[in-house]
Amino acid sequence: MTLKLGVPSKGRLMEQCFDWFGARGVTLRRTGSEREYAGAVEGAEGVELVLLSAGEIPRELAQGRIHLGITGTDLVRDRLADWDRQVRELVPLGFGHADLVIAVPAAWEDVSTLDDLDAVAAAFRRVHGQRLRIATKYHRLVRDHLAANGIADYQLVDSQGATEGTVKNLTAEAIADITSSGETLRANHLKVLDEAPILHSQAALFAARAADWGGEAGRAYRALAARLDLPAPPV
């Protein structure tokens, strides 16, 4: 079996992945038409490029259907229970930096910490008869973080995109989302809590513990590892 390398299939993240490998003498490129998700690898024997949605890469790694995959540390930690038993983070790639933060309306001048958020959640429930809603797509990370800090009387509502707009649209009171510059938050009249982010995320190369690392795939990995300065046994 060839060594399968999963890379995000589009956008800036894909280009940065290609650049990272290119700078180390391994050329990744898309083949076929612009719309066809097919790729090629030059400069590394026995490696097959698999183009995937970044959000699906954690699952494919967990299943062992790809050997290596590039995705955000946020997605791996959120999508996979006990993530480090399922994958191994081989190397952080130094791009795709973003912080997972909690943001509330900027006009909430009484709120700047998690303590405040907890107190507001209690009052909100008394006044409105429902738990304070936090819109996010990072359910596990946010829930674990709030549980570790003993926050009560909130509920997570799922938002897979345009999360910053949920407060204005009255479908949430606060959000937990990835931000790099905070501009979208400010444009939507939100502010980040004055706390350390839930997670500093960046793109990283992961190895699947469930993948078959014997035979051709194992040989291909050893050659690649020597070239990219990766840990010798992948998992």
List binders of another protein among 132-151 (CB under 8 A): 139-140, 143-144, 146-147, 149-151
Q: How far is the CB of 86 from another protein (least distance, A)?
A: 10
* Cβ proximity to another protein, 50 vs 104, nearer residue: 104
Q: How far is the CB of 217 from another protein (least distance, A)?
A: 25
| One of 91, 122, 210, 235 touching another protein (CB under 8 A) | 122
Residue closest to 95 by CA, chosen among 6, 193, 198, 18: 18
SS3 content of the chain, % helix, strand, coil (to 5): 35, 30, 35
| One of 10, 168, 200, 219 touching another protein (CB under 8 A) | 168
Burial zone of 170 (CB within 10 Å; 0-12 exposed, 13-18 middle, 19+ buried):
exposed
Question: Which residues pair with residue 48 across a beta bridge?
Answer: 4
Binding mask 69-98 for another protein (x = CB under 8 A): ------------xx--x-------------
Q: Which two tokens stand for residue 14?
A: 């894909």
What is the Cα–Cα distance from 207 to 115, expressed in whole angstroms? 38
* Cβ proximity to another protein, 101 vs 203, nearer residue: 101
| One of 1, 91, 119, 228 touching another protein (CB under 8 A) | 119
Q: Do 209 and 85 form a contact (C-beta atoms < 8 A)?
A: yes
Residue closest to 55 by CA, chosen among 2, 100, 10: 10
Q: How far is the CB of 63 from another protein (least distance, A)?
A: 17
Q: How far is the CB of 189 from another protein (least distance, A)?
A: 5
List binders of another protein among 170-199 (CB under 8 A): 170, 172-173, 188-190, 194
Q: Checking DSSP bridges between strand 203-208 and strand 68-72, what pairing results, if any?
A: antiparallel
Q: Do 115 and 146 form a contact (C-beta atoms < 8 A)?
A: no
Sequence-separated contacts (24+) of 30-39 with Cβ below 8 Å: 37/9, 39/7
Q: Check residue 200 for interaction with another protein (CB under 8 A).
A: no
Amino acid identity of residue 61, one-letter, is: L
Task: Name the residues that contact another protein, by CB under 8 A.
Answer: 81-82, 85, 105-110, 112-113, 115-116, 118-120, 122-124, 127-128, 131, 139-140, 143-144, 146-147, 149-156, 167-168, 170, 172-173, 188-190, 194
